[in-house]
Structure 1
Amino acid sequence: MKYVPFFLLALLIGSACSPSAQPEVAVVPQPARLEVKKGAFKLSSSTQLIVSDEGHFGNEVTFLQSTLEEMLGSELSSTEGPNQIELIYSAELSQPESYQMEITEDKISLKAGDAQGIFYAIETLRQLMPADLEGEKYATEIPIPLLAISDQPSIAWRGMHLDVSRHFFSMDYLHRYVDLLALYKMNKLHLHLTDDQGWRLEIKKYPRLTEESAWRTFNNQDSVCIEKAKEDPRFNLEPKHLRERNGVTEYGGFYTQEEMRELVEYAQSRHIEIIPEIDMPGHMMAAIKVYPELACTGSAGWGKVFSTPLCPGNEKVYEFVEGVLIEVMDIFPSKYIHIGADEVEKSTWEESKACQDLMVAEGMKNVEELQSYFVNRVTDFIKSKGKEVIVWDDAIHPGVDSSLYVMYWRNWAGGVQNRVAKNGNPMIYTPGNPMYFSRLDAQMYPIYHFEFFGNHYPEDKKYLAYGLQACVWTETVPSEALADAIIFPKLLALSERAWSPREVHNWDGFKERLQSQLLRLDQLGVKYSYEVTKELMTFLQVDTVNQQIGVVLESELVKPTIYYTTDGTEPTTESNLYTGEFYVSGSAEVKAAIFENGQAKEPILSRKVDYHKAIGKKVTYQTPWNTAYPAGDAGSFTDGLRGGKENGDGKWQGFTNHIDVTVDMGKVQELHSFSASFLQNIGPGIFIPDSVIVSVSIDGENFQPVLQLANDIPRDQKGLIFKDFAGSLENTQARYVQVRAINGRRAFIFTDELVIN
């Protein structure tokens, strides 16, 4: 749907079209229960609209009429016709946002117990109509499949985020964003309104925030975009957000309070709650530039890592914060106010007399407690106004209020999720991988299959999982076209993961339904990016009963033709045709590829698979892993799950010291061989160890070295490099195997499995 306020809806003038008489069912997200029947309901402007809503669905009736007017060329009739659509209020449908739909040859019944539910029923009905009617065409008659649906969301918070601070987005774009979120049953829009790079919301008490801090000369992020634009015009800064001032080009923009109120009202009509974020005490450079007294140093600047924050020892800071938040809360009726509290540079606090005096007065031991003091004080103010507070997970330090809603994003940092759970905070899951939408080529599979809880998450804390959200950070997203390309169609995978119950999730079915949705997005003018990679994904299932490993190959393509080998040779059409999970006993090098017209397509998958004698055996760590990369904790090296091409994929265990572990094989036995894989990627500081030393023992106390392997990969060799350290254990009789990997640079080293046979 185009952005058209209800009071301005007019007849869409277009050319009539004749959609296929064979309607399809390609709804996203997949309904909880769906029964498709043979035949079709024939919708036309003669169809009678009956409203039995007891006064609950006024806006939704208007929305239905406007939607059908754009598709039929006129509204539905109020007089008796050949068939009917009826909107029914039913108090029996008590679950929020739920609805029922039944379509017979002569009647469409949409039933719900609240306005949200009937709205989602209408959006489902809309998706049952031909995609080409979303454009400027209309039809005199529309066939709609006969079916029955009973549907409700599985997750209450289904969110999308947009950072409008780093780069700015127009009101027209935000309205269309709201429309698209609503179409796919998302119900939260998190707007990141302020950051170091720009202040985007008018605050009347502090006019300089938008008069001056909404604009900037080109920064380093703009420079990156300008360089990328030489190859891809979507990285161009949009001219509508540029201005000339005193002979200098500036980038920026802001939303007036009147504009934002209208957007909020529009979003409410689509049952989307807009959550504002005013990031504090860090990420406040835009404010500090014009009000420098807010910083402990009296000026904007950078600390060791992040920008200089607000000064929590200065009472005028709280006057400023409360003045801003009073206006924010007046604009946004949302239950929630997001205050960020992430990535706070605390070095200036350590040097500030005001902060040190406050810490002494309050009995605080360190600046982490000072951050908690700031967060709790601002939280108390917001809650006094009847609102709830959201923070990023960085804010969870000792003493932080357990009622705060926490956006858990640092899934790359070990223990964060469990620490938040231990504090008792409700969590909205926004994990950086895969829920930060930032790459054009990011895959949908991990979004669709996202799991909330890690291996050791406490069972009695699972109730704290409150929502699921993806984020769009715009440091290098300067245009609406590029934002579209990054968000879509990944949003649809998120939509189905968040709405549909797990028992109806079907990856292959989703990929097929997606094809119809892409046609709909085309008609809606969405500049999505769907350059589907031919890369295969591998999933391993360890079968300890039959002592084998099941191998599953997945792709973003619909029903690809895949051939594979298990002996390390290149696959051809004479190789094994992949028809589903296959099994490997012992060790194998699986190679596989998608084939088109008899030719293998790059990239060719190569994956080691090993069912070895150490699988399931106990591993004792003489040195600990780095908590940011725990993989599967103490069982990682003997779980049979080899890592992929990313050190953060949950299979590679990371160390910043030497690796020193001992594997208990359970009994004395003859040991023949050892191997372990390591990776190098010097950009983020990951290196292959200098050497690997393997020693064996019968009693676990007296060890004899039997294998020493040296690294031959240069430390300055760039790119992603994998190396196997492998050799003979000389048929030695032993029970214990000690493995030491020497970390010569004291950087990161990663390995995934200790293969012992």
Structure 2
Amino acid sequence: MRIIFYITILTSVLFVSCKQAEEVKEVSVIPQPTSLNYSNGEFEFSKETQLITDHTEDFENEIAFFQTVAKASVGSSLSATEGQSKIYLIKSDEITVPESYSIQINSNEIKLIAGDQKGIFYAIETLRQIISTSAITKSTEETILLPQLRIQDQPKYSWRGMHLDVSRHFFSIDFLKKYVDVLAYYKINKLHLHLTDDQGWRLEIKKYPLLTEQGAWRTFNAQDSVCMKMAKEDPLYAIDTTHIIQKNGKTLYGGFYTQDQMKAFVKYASKRHVEIIPEIDMPGHMMAAINIYPNLSATGKSSWGKLFSTPLSPVKEEVYTFIENILDEVIQVFSSDYVHIGADEVEKSSWMESAQCQAFMKKNGFTTDKQLQGYFVNRVADYLKSKNKKVIVWDDALEDDIDSTLNVMYWRNWIGGVPEKVAANGNQMIMVPGDPLYFSRMSTPLYNIYNMNLLGDKYPADKMNLIKGIQACVWSERVGSYKVVEALVFPKLLALSERAWSSDQVLDWEDFKVKVKNHIPILDNMNVNYHYKPTKELTPIMEVDTLNNRIGLSFISELSNPTIYYTTDGTVPTNESKLYKGKFYIEGNAKICAAVFTNNQPEQPYLEKELDYHLAIGKAVSYNTPWNKAYPAADTGSLTDGYRGGKSYGDGKWQGFTTDLDVVIDLGEVKPINSVTANFMQITGPGVYMPESFEVSISTDGKTYMSIGKDINDVSKDEKELTFKKFTCKADAVEARFLRVVAKNKQQAFIFTDEIVVN
């Protein structure tokens, strides 16, 4: 962890490799440009370089920004009238894709060319990175040699977003400015601010001053005590004391943004081409307001339901007056075309207890509480659309029919079929899959972000035009200071940046790992409190080869060119074991154990993986009970496709059931059976348990079955840690074509398995 004092980024020294007497042949640009080609020779960038533009009025903001870059790089802004070498900012009608640009670096001139202001700005940011990752070959910090090159670049997605929850914990305007500076450096163009929630109201609303006078402050709550407890072991998690005040004899924690402060911040961000998206979460997550105005709820009280807080009433006219008055002020503060209204995690039980809600439902022919939510969302959205605003909601809003003009943020990637449902409804979608794009865990591997599967195979190809882009989120329940925000976000943001901007054709994991190392000094110079500790954990990538009856295995690492040894019998490898040189294949069964080696010693954690090319691979499976639609894995082929799951039931390999698992496998012909096994997992927090038992019955005709054994669970339901168990039923070369496998779900919760292995 790097703890570095904050100073303004644009005046930071951008030199990374000062006074290194070596020739630079390549630079590290993140996100990777569409094309980048080098040629021989260098450009000498110094305070004697001249800055020339043919569209001064169009690029006034960008010229001012470039001069700050020049001053930070060579100690002086550049002359517009004379110089030994030249940098041109050129507007070109030939570059028509928004935000696109080209860079040409020759021996005596640099040309930054774009069709719009955003393109020129991103060209400048790319040039900053070229400067920052180029070695300085002279004895002065006033001259930098840049390699001759050509760049053509354009974004993959128009929406490249980051998010910050300022409600659970509050963050200053100064930090928000710093956040924007670094986002812009990596071509992130949206900052989504979660301004209101149960724990705090952070934006001044002049018509309702109590929202910030009372709703922006609290005595310490459970989330604060969690941070305090964590801070005892790691001071990083300590709550920022600058947001603690004494008032009327009480210690209060919080804060809010005045409208003038936020307007100034929005203007600051716009100069860096970062659009600030406000979110006022409704009808749920509104306790900060309902505590002050309890009549806004259906029951006239502020309380907690079974899962979430009591929401706004969807049928009281005073609620819509309240919301519309707030939104009128919000859209005066934020220049964005978008307003986010949340619509997630709505606790609807209070609606069903309300006679007023029940009467409204009867009058309108509603039969479910989801229709009440749809009514609320559409009515608020219609109001915003009347103000020429575009509306964003979380994907929970799709529980009922919503207007197809709404933009949907897809976050619940553990729920099957959500993207397809969004597409079917015709909504544009911003991809925010919680795993891995909720940056709330330090341990989220960069590989998971860089290589995430965003949509799966079932998303309709003809609906790709509905995808606006991707975004990552920082929810701040356990984030007591800006230092924790930075540690959670960086360098993960670099992987997000490349996935959001760069074309699939130029994505390169091995190259990206090297670039991240080269950008760590840049984050240092930006005073970013990053958390960069590449894990020695290996990620297995399987390939089931049904043509040759074998399974291929590759290892992915966050380290660059690690030394890896492995065994196939499950023993811990030594430097006398097999050296990993790339994908290898297993026929039959193997227990893989692999490790990264340092100084000829294996490093924890070891990778342990069972591989089985077994009798049932590719065979038909019929389901007597269905899988849970939220966890289909690969549907009917999941249990016999040869692919084993990892440590997460949401990785697309584990198939989930909330009933008993009861399936029949057809081997296609009678074969001798020696054993049938299946792995299950338990992690009780989200309600995942072991089955009570695992039983296998066999048949030659598919009609008459005989049990070959039952394996009884011995893992306690009170075991809370992630646990795996292999259930086994053995036989002695008993002949069968059909196998019925039943796993009893005693807890009536989730059970998960990844493969039924038949040997």
TM-score by length of 1: 0.96
- Say which of 402, 405, 408 aligns to 1:406: 408
For residues 375 and 566 of structure 2, the distance between their equivalents in structure 1, rounded to whole angstroms, comes to 58
| Deviation readout 1:522-581 (Å, 9 max, x if unpaired) | 011000001222111111111111111111101111111111111111111111111111
Instruction: Show the counterpart of 1:494.
Output: 496
1:392 CA displacement? 0.4
Instruction: Show the counterpart of 1:332.
Output: 334
Q: In 2 relative to 1, CA 179–347 (structure 1 residues): closer, same or farther, beyond 3 Å?
A: same
Instruction: Show the counterpart of 1:476.
Output: 478
Q: In 2 relative to 1, CA 119–635 (structure 1 residues): closer, same or farther, beyond 3 Å?
A: same
Percentage identity across paired residues of the two chains: 54
For residues 52 and 525 of structure 1, the distance between their equivalents in structure 2, rounded to whole angstroms, comes to 35
Q: In 2 relative to 1, CA 169–10 (structure 1 residues): closer, same or farther, beyond 3 Å?
A: closer
For residues 384 and 686 of structure 2, the distance between their equivalents in structure 1, rounded to whole angstroms, comes to 40
The 5-angstrom pairing of residues 46-445 of structure 1 reads: 46-53=48-55, 55-130=57-132, 139-445=141-447
1:54 CA displacement? 6.6
Instruction: Show the counterpart of 1:740.
Output: 742
What code does the residue aligned with 2:102 have?
Answer: Q
Instruction: Show the counterpart of 1:459.
Output: 461
| Deviation readout 1:244-295 (Å, 9 max, x if unpaired) | 1121111000001111111111111111111000000110111111122211
| Deviation readout 1:21-80 (Å, 9 max, x if unpaired) | 533401111111011223321100111111023742111111111111112111112233
Instruction: Show the counterpart of 2:601.
Output: 599
Instruction: Show the counterpart of 2:23.
Output: 22
1:3 CA displacement? 7.9
- Say which of 565, 568, 592 aligns to 1:566: 568
Q: In 2 relative to 1, CA 176–427 (structure 1 residues): closer, same or farther, beyond 3 Å?
A: same
For residues 724 and 84 of structure 1, the distance between their equivalents in structure 2, rounded to whole angstroms, comes to 68
| 1:658 and 2:669 matched | no
Instruction: Show the counterpart of 2:555.
Output: 553
1:599 CA displacement? 0.5
For residues 324 and 610 of structure 2, the distance between their equivalents in structure 1, rounded to whole angstroms, comes to 57
> Counterpart of 2:131 in 1: which secondary structure?
coil
Of 738-747 and 340-349, the range deviating more from structure 2: 738-747
The answer to whether the Cα contact below 8 Å between 2:135 and 2:145 also exists between their aligned partners in 1 is no
The answer to whether the Cα contact below 8 Å between 2:14 and 2:525 also exists between their aligned partners in 1 is no
Q: In 2 relative to 1, CA 238–138 (structure 1 residues): closer, same or farther, beyond 3 Å?
A: farther
1:474 CA displacement? 0.1
Q: In 2 relative to 1, CA 138–177 (structure 1 residues): closer, same or farther, beyond 3 Å?
A: farther
> Counterpart of 2:232 in 1: which secondary structure?
coil
The answer to whether the Cα contact below 8 Å between 2:17 and 2:134 also exists between their aligned partners in 1 is no
Instruction: Show the counterpart of 1:710.
Output: 712
The answer to whether the Cα contact below 8 Å between 1:637 and 1:752 also exists between their aligned partners in 2 is yes
The answer to whether the Cα contact below 8 Å between 1:71 and 1:138 also exists between their aligned partners in 2 is no
Structure 2's unaligned 5+ residue stretches are: none
For residues 296 and 744 of structure 1, the distance between their equivalents in structure 2, rounded to whole angstroms, comes to 38
For residues 22 and 199 of structure 1, the distance between their equivalents in structure 2, rounded to whole angstroms, comes to 54
The answer to whether the Cα contact below 8 Å between 1:28 and 1:513 also exists between their aligned partners in 2 is yes
Q: In 2 relative to 1, CA 261–718 (structure 1 residues): closer, same or farther, beyond 3 Å?
A: closer
1:666 CA displacement? 1.7
| Deviation readout 1:638-685 (Å, 9 max, x if unpaired) | 111101122222211111221100111122233333211112223333
- Say which of 571, 579, 582 aligns to 2:581: 579
For residues 354 and 644 of structure 1, the distance between their equivalents in structure 2, rounded to whole angstroms, comes to 49
The 5-angstrom pairing of residues 663-678 of structure 1 reads: 663-678=665-680
The answer to whether the Cα contact below 8 Å between 1:435 and 1:471 also exists between their aligned partners in 2 is yes
Instruction: Show the counterpart of 1:635.
Output: 637
For residues 563 and 125 of structure 1, the distance between their equivalents in structure 2, rounded to whole angstroms, comes to 41
For residues 524 and 253 of structure 2, the distance between their equivalents in structure 1, rounded to whole angstroms, comes to 30
The answer to whether the Cα contact below 8 Å between 1:16 and 1:140 also exists between their aligned partners in 2 is no
Q: In 2 relative to 1, CA 390–707 (structure 1 residues): closer, same or farther, beyond 3 Å?
A: same
Of 468-477 and 70-79, the range deviating more from structure 2: 70-79
1:11 CA displacement? 11
What code does the residue aligned with 2:401 have?
Answer: G
Instruction: Show the counterpart of 2:688.
Output: 686
> Counterpart of 2:399 in 1: which secondary structure?
coil
Of 608-617 and 413-422, the range deviating more from structure 2: 413-422
| 1:36 and 2:27 matched | no
For residues 263 and 449 of structure 1, the distance between their equivalents in structure 2, rounded to whole angstroms, comes to 34
Of 702-711 and 148-157, the range deviating more from structure 2: 702-711
> Counterpart of 1:161 in 2: which secondary structure?
strand
| Deviation readout 1:325-358 (Å, 9 max, x if unpaired) | 0110111111110000111111111122222222
Q: In 2 relative to 1, CA 535–392 (structure 1 residues): closer, same or farther, beyond 3 Å?
A: same
Q: In 2 relative to 1, CA 10–403 (structure 1 residues): closer, same or farther, beyond 3 Å?
A: closer
For residues 161 and 13 of structure 2, the distance between their equivalents in structure 1, rounded to whole angstroms, comes to 31
Structure 1's unaligned 5+ residue stretches are: none
For residues 425 and 509 of structure 2, the distance between their equivalents in structure 1, rounded to whole angstroms, comes to 35
For residues 352 and 710 of structure 2, the distance between their equivalents in structure 1, rounded to whole angstroms, comes to 48
Instruction: Show the counterpart of 2:519.
Output: 517
For residues 389 and 427 of structure 2, the distance between their equivalents in structure 1, rounded to whole angstroms, comes to 16
For residues 247 and 13 of structure 1, the distance between their equivalents in structure 2, rounded to whole angstroms, comes to 47
The answer to whether the Cα contact below 8 Å between 1:14 and 1:138 also exists between their aligned partners in 2 is no
1:488 CA displacement? 0.3
> Counterpart of 1:396 in 2: which secondary structure?
helix
For residues 17 and 697 of structure 2, the distance between their equivalents in structure 1, rounded to whole angstroms, comes to 79
TM-score by length of 2: 0.96
Of 13-22 and 379-388, the range deviating more from structure 2: 13-22
1:14 CA displacement? 12
What code does the residue aligned with 1:384 have?
Answer: S
Of 695-704 and 506-515, the range deviating more from structure 2: 695-704
Of 225-234 and 124-133, the range deviating more from structure 2: 124-133
> Counterpart of 1:533 in 2: which secondary structure?
coil
The answer to whether the Cα contact below 8 Å between 2:14 and 2:73 also exists between their aligned partners in 1 is no
The answer to whether the Cα contact below 8 Å between 2:16 and 2:133 also exists between their aligned partners in 1 is no
What code does the residue aligned with 2:505 have?
Answer: E
> Counterpart of 2:533 in 1: which secondary structure?
coil
> Counterpart of 1:573 in 2: which secondary structure?
coil
> Counterpart of 1:118 in 2: which secondary structure?
helix
For residues 132 and 2 of structure 1, the distance between their equivalents in structure 2, rounded to whole angstroms, comes to 24
> Counterpart of 2:553 in 1: which secondary structure?
strand
1:131 CA displacement? 5.7
The answer to whether the Cα contact below 8 Å between 2:14 and 2:132 also exists between their aligned partners in 1 is no
The answer to whether the Cα contact below 8 Å between 2:694 and 2:741 also exists between their aligned partners in 1 is yes
For residues 262 and 523 of structure 2, the distance between their equivalents in structure 1, rounded to whole angstroms, comes to 26
Instruction: Show the counterpart of 2:625.
Output: 623
What code does the residue aligned with 1:22 have?
Answer: E
For residues 370 and 258 of structure 1, the distance between their equivalents in structure 2, rounded to whole angstroms, comes to 36
For residues 534 and 12 of structure 1, the distance between their equivalents in structure 2, rounded to whole angstroms, comes to 33
